[in-house]
Chains A and B, each alone.
Chain A
Amino acid sequence: MHRRFLAAALVALLSLPALAQERSITIASTTSTEQSGLFGHLLPIFTRETGIAVRVVALGTGQALDVGRRGDADLVFVHDRPAEERFVAEGAGGPRLHVMFNDFVLIGPAADPAGIAGQRDTAEALRRIAAARAPFVSRGDRSGTHAAELRLWQQAGVDPVAGRGAWYREVGQGMGPALNTAAAQGAYILADRGTWLAFRNRQDLRIVVEGDARLFNQYGVMLVNPQRHLHVKVAEAQRFIDWIVAPAGQAAIAGYQINGEQLFFPNATVPEPVS
């Protein structure tokens, strides 16, 4: 009797804050959307309009999708289209909707040992980095940016893994820590523009390659499958999805700027091929 009371009191103590919040959803998303400050701009607007509080767990895209698979979030908002399509095909959630895009940029040290500054062809730039054996920091964490980087190496016809332990350095960390490492080592690195713009510890890093169509970075949103995970807050989460792809949410995305520069470009109206 006594023991049962204690156990009940413990559970109550642990779950107190969870009960105090009335209407809320949990989004598994990427570090780029959080660390660029986009969510800080977007979510208060959504909460003001709907009364639904939003909790964001910011992870790499691969990890965020896994959180969705386990049912630990109500929706996922990430940027690795092939991985997202696998997520939908597995029945882990969906349908997948376009939300917005921005682009990746290739960052490098001022000294530019591979001589690629101003280059518009990413594949050629990567080939020169490999040829010069210039230090390159890779996320190495199954994030959307990591997946995009690996696709770019493939398009360049270079296997960077051969340079592992020498010039190709996989740090297995988020965008910010990877940028910190690149800044300290004077290395090249692929980054999403949003995180780069908000990043403070640049030292002598700068953008060396941008504007290549291959650097396109699409973000998508998916509801976690409520049939598989019965606790998913379907109504509230669907409300968020409906809002973010509607004119109100799209305008809020377009309105987010750092130093007068727009970070993300809404494109929810671009129809998704039926899958």
Chain B
Amino acid sequence: MNDLSAAFAAAAGLLAGGDPAVLGIIGLSLRVSLSAVVIAALVGLPLGALLAVARFPGRGALIVTLNALMGLPPVVCGLLVYLLLSRSGPLGSLGLLFTPGAMIAAQAVLIAPILAALTRQVLESYWEEYAEQLRSFGAGPWRAIPTLLWDGRFALLTVLLAGFGRASAEVGAVMIVGGNIEGFTRVMTTAIALETSKGDLPLALALGMVLMAIVLGVNAAAQTLRGAATRWAG
């Protein structure tokens, strides 16, 4: 009980105090996870849309695989990216291991399947609705993909937020490929893990509350944007 109230007080202090180290960690968390969402979206959204409209052999297997990969454990994803980016690995010459770039790559690998699977789910229902109409304009599946992505943009915002939530909440992958280096690759979740291992549980919980506040802020911003855009479009 005492620890919990201490955590609330510490969280308020962290948010109000503007400690540059904490702000740096918050900034890096946002940069890494938002970059990962952008990269994963570049792959995941078109792939999901393709799966929604196209029919080809192996499509069912691909969908099942993507659905299964939504449950990829972050630590396994981190290990995979570690072995790829290690100096002794195939992409070692890039020198990305233990940098924010490696963390972005790991999170992008982690959430790309989530974005692809959820996009397919969302756009399939749009496609059922619009298929006739789009075909009557002479649009084949390929031409339909950008139209569908555009029409589904508000629903897809939720998909992107799901990806962002997963990315900003995971610790296993960024810990392995980033190394939790102070002032360089330390993000909110690895800082929480570190303070827990130092036995400073109130500070760890306070950082967790700050992380939740940030995620809440991003979601609120997205909601506001969506509301404004809907009004403008309507």
Contacts and interface: CB of A to CB of B under 8 A. Distances in A.
Interface of A: 10-11, 13-18, 21, 26, 31, 34-35, 39-40, 55-58, 70-72, 173-177, 179-180, 183, 198-202, 229, 231
Contacts of B100: 17
Contact of B101 (A17, A55, A183): A17
B95 A15 contact: yes
Contacts of B94: 11, 14-15
Nearest to A229: B87
24 contacts: A13-B35, A13-B104, A14-B94, A18-B95, A18-B96, A26-B98, A31-B197, A34-B182, A55-B184, A57-B179, A57-B180, A57-B181, A70-B86, A70-B88, A71-B87, A71-B92, A72-B86, A72-B97, A175-B197, A176-B196, A180-B196, A180-B197, A231-B87, A231-B95
B158 interface: no
Bin chain B's interface residue count.
20 to 34
A21 B101 CA distance: 13
Contacts of A183: 199
Contacts, number: 92
Contact of A16 (B39, B97, B101, B185): B101
Contacts of A34: 182
Contacts of A39: 182
Contacts of A16: 101
A258 to B, nearest CB: 12
A247 to B, nearest CB: 26
A201 B201 contact: yes
Given A14-B101, A17-B100, A17-B101, A174 B197 contact: yes
Q: Would you call the interface of chain A mostly helix, strand, loop, or mixed?
A: helix
Contacts of B66: none
B123 interface: no
Contact of A14 (B96, B98, B197): B96
B198 interface: yes
Contact of B196 (A21, A31, A40, A177): A177
Interface string B92-129: 10111111111011000000000000000000000000
A39 B179 CA distance: 15
Nearest to B178: A57
B200 interface: yes
A56 B101 CA distance: 17
Nearest to B200: A200
Contact of B99 (A17, A173, A198): A17
A176 B98 contact: no
Nearest to A17: B100
